[in-house]
């Protein structure tokens, strides 16, 4: 079943993987897991509206789960890069 503009689910997942790998390969300028964060206001201020109204992002809980869902992947630099 086409998911988005004729893309099948498998293709959509493949595109997501390519984006993830591209981001990982371009973000190798000495960044660490500590740099994988959100702007401070998104970590401290509660959402003012919508389904998350009153909630504050719990990035410290969400990131490990996200990496696990990504197959344990963490951004990795290509060989020869910092």
Concatenated DSSP letters of 10-72: HHHHHHHHHHHHHHHHH--SS--GGG----HHHHHSPB-SSTTBT----HHHHHHHHHHHTTS
Closest CA to 34 of 65, 68, 75, 73: 75
Per mean pLDDT, which of 18-22, 49-53, 64-68 is the most reliable?
Answer: 49-53
pTM of the complete model: 0.47
Are 22 and 43 in contact by the 8 Å Cβ rule? The answer is no
pLDDT tens for 30-45 read 666 677 788 999 899 9
Average pLDDT over residues 71-78: 60
Cα–Cα distance, 7 to 81 (Å, whole number): 34
């Amino acid at each position: 079943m086409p998911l988005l503009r004729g893309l099948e689910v498998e293709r959509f997942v493949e595109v997501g993987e390519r984006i993830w790998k591209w981001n990982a390969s371009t973000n190798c300028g000495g960044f660490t897991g500590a740099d994988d964060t959100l702007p401070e206001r998104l970590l401290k201020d509660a959402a003012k509206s919508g389904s998350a109204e009153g909630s504050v992002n719990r990035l410290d809980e969400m990131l490990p789960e996200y990496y696990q869902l990504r197959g344990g992947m963490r951004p990795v630099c290509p060989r020869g890069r910092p």
